[in-house]
Structure 1
Amino acid sequence: MDEKKLTTLAAELAKGLKTDADLNAFSRMLTKLTVETALNAELTEHLGHVKNAPKLGYGYSSKTLLCDDGEVELNTPRDRENTFEPQLIKKNQTHITQMDSQILSLYAKGMTTREIVATFKEMYDADVSPTLISKVTDAVKEQVTEWQNRPLDALYPIVYLDCIVVKVRQGGSVINKAVFLALGINTEGQKELLGMWLAENEGAKFWLSVLTELKNWGLQDILIACVDGLKGFPDAINSVYPQTHIQLCIIHRVRNSLKYVSWKDYKAVTSGLKTVYLAKQR
């Protein structure tokens, strides 16, 4: 259907829409008709490729589908021998929304399963089961485990080792926690997150365990490790990667440079250091 026909159809359909509720109801009806028509077309094509298809017959089964505008009751077609596997809406599929990403976003913000259920009820007036939420989050956990166990490249020219503070759910409450990161620059010049770790305290001993893990995952050599000024950090790195050059981040270099500068010279020295650290050639 071309744009002109769509515009004419939209103008005709819009005559009966007065409120948001009208629009949502219409959207659900349109979704129902479109999906059911597409599923029937899929079945027709399927039966056309099956020997003795006219003898198979078919019927319908009811299914509740959750879409962006709420719940839609579908009549999904089926063949007598149960050989039809729809692709548009698969047999066990219960939603056609961005629900997975929304669930994960709410979960990542520290919301409990019960709170997520209540949020979807408020947003869509739809009942989302705790089981569905668990399936979505469990699937992501499996992907995370697979990512954690992947082999790393043998060489990363540059690796940044640092931490960020994020909110995490723990023991039924949301708290701030440090997430320690290893960010690598590979031989193609691309950034790659090598790993993430949660820990209560940062220390050289902790980073030693991180570096040991990285080596066990296949990372055999780091040319430059960019780190902060944590005491014992360089020794921890060189105990696992003896040939690695340690590069302190600029802010720590500036702090070290200003440690013995008198207050009256502070501004001038700071300005001079800025020129040095922003220079293209050092």
Structure 2
Amino acid sequence: MAPNVKRRERDNAAAQVIAEAFPSKVIDTLLADAKAGGTPIDGVDGLLNQMTKAVLERALQAEMTDHLGYESGDPSGHGTGNSRNGLSVKTVSTRNGPVEIEVPRDRNSTFEPVIVPKRARRIGNLDDTILSLYSRGMTTRDIEAHLAEVYGVEASRELISNVTDVVVDEIKTWQSRPLDEVYPIMYVDGIRLRVKDNGVVSTKVAYLAIGVDIDGRKHALGCWIQDSEGAKFWQKVLA
């Protein structure tokens, strides 16, 4: 199963747990209490982070119960060969900031949580946030500073580079893909873009080549970024 599909399944599972754990009346009460106590909604110390912690820990306990086959303290668990073995503390990064959660352990060390997998330090599609910032021309240094300032997340440049390398690999695969021998219709054009490069904003031109195959489907055949617009560039490409 693809990593993105697994991640969506984990997100859907987490959303389901939230829906079950916090009915509308409970959420209304939490919001009212937060407002009365001066607790912010978002941010590292905000209500959303507290709710995230509560939901994740409840989901992990539910997963442990499913793994062992009995509730905590249930006498039916005696003699089963495995049991709960305390808690370990780990910090995971979310879009609302870092959250410290308690993860249950089992004596046989066979528990494999789904909501927060072993060794996972990021949840809530933080990778998507990094890729979104990267696609907008932000450098790894800019992304690192943005995540720390807005989300309170300490993401190393090595981590950011590892995430963005996935995009580079996808681009290389796309560039080397086989093309049809014939495209009855071709569209060639350019669009002027404001691009930030090494901290400097300038205007560049993205040249696009779109081909229509014999079944009428459009395909992006190529995209080239140049400093200026002109017919000489297309002459070189088409030649």
Same fold, TM exceeding 0.5?
A: yes
CA contact (8 A) 1:62 1:75 kept: yes
Which one-letter code corresponds to 1:7 in the other structure?
S
Structure 2 counterpart of 1:142: 169
Q: Distance in 2 between matches of 1:168 and 1:76?
A: 44
* Deviation string, structure 1 residues 15-56 (Cα, Å, up to 9, x no partner): 3112774323221121111112212222332344xxx96336
C-alpha distance in 1 between matches for 2:58 and 2:166: 31
TM-score (norm: length of structure 1): 0.61
Confirm or deny that 1:30 pairs with 2:47. Answer: no
CA 1:206–1:22: 2 relative to 1, 3 Å: closer
Higher deviation after alignment, 196-205 or 21-30: 196-205
SS at match of 1:91: coil
| 2:141 corresponds to 1:114 | yes
CA distance in structure 2 between the aligned counterparts of 1:141 and 1:203, rounded to whole angstroms: 28
Matches of 1:116 and 1:156, distance apart in 2 = 40
Residue number among 164, 174, 177 corresponding to 2:204 in the alignment: 177
In the alignment, what sits opposite 2:6? none
Residue 76 of structure 1 is aligned with which of 100, 103, 116? 103
- Identity over aligned residues, as a percent? 42
Q: Which segment is superposed worse, 194-203 or 137-146?
A: 194-203
Q: 1:89 aligns with which of 113, 116, 129?
A: 116
| Structure 1 pair 6–118 and aligned structure 2 pair: CA distance change class (3 A) | same
53-62 or 196-205: bigger deviation: 196-205
Bigger mean CA deviation after superposition, 139-148 or 108-117: 108-117
Deviation of the 1:169 alpha carbon: 5.1
> In the alignment, is residue 44 of structure 1 matched against residue 68 of structure 2?
no
Instruction: Tell me what 2:33 maps to.
Output: 16
1:17 alignment partner, SS class: helix
Q: CA deviation at 1:196?
A: 1.8
Q: Note the C-alpha offset of 1:150.
A: 2.0
Match for residue 124 of structure 1? 151
Residue of structure 1 aligned with 2:222, choices 195, 217, 226? 195
- Aligned-residue offset at 1:137: 0.9
Indicate conservation of the 8 Å contact 1:161/1:182, yes or no: yes
* Mapped partners of 1:121, 1:158: distance in 2: 48
Normalised to the residue count of structure 2, the TM-score between the two structures is 0.70
Q: Distance in 2 between matches of 1:118 and 1:2?
A: 33
User: Per-residue deviation at 1:154?
Assistant: 3.6
Partner of 1:221: none
Higher relative contact order (CA 8 A, sep 6+): 2
Given that 1:180 and 1:197 are in contact with CA atoms closer than 8 Å, whether structure 2 keeps it comes out as: yes
Question: What is the identity, as a one-letter code, of the residue corresponding to 1:37?
Answer: R
Count of residues paired in the alignment: 208
Measure the CA separation in 2 of the matches of 1:23 and 1:75: 22
Residue 178 of structure 2 corresponds to 151
Deviates more, 1:130-139 or 1:96-105: 96-105
8 A contact 1:183–1:191 mirrored in 2: yes
Mapped partners of 2:167, 2:58: distance in 1: 33
Deviation per residue, 1:65-111 (Å, 9 max, x gap)? 22232211012234344433322222233223343333223223322
**What is the Cα deviation at residue 121 of structure 1?**
2.5
Shift of 1:204: 7.4
Larger radius of gyration: 1
Kindly provide the amino acid, as one letter, of the partner of residue 36 in structure 1.
E
Query: 1:133 is matched with which residue?
Result: 160
Give the superposition deviation at 1:181. 1.9
Structure 1: tracts of 5 or more residues without a match: 212-235, 237-282
Q: Unpaired segments of 5 or more residues in structure 2? A: 1-17, 70-78
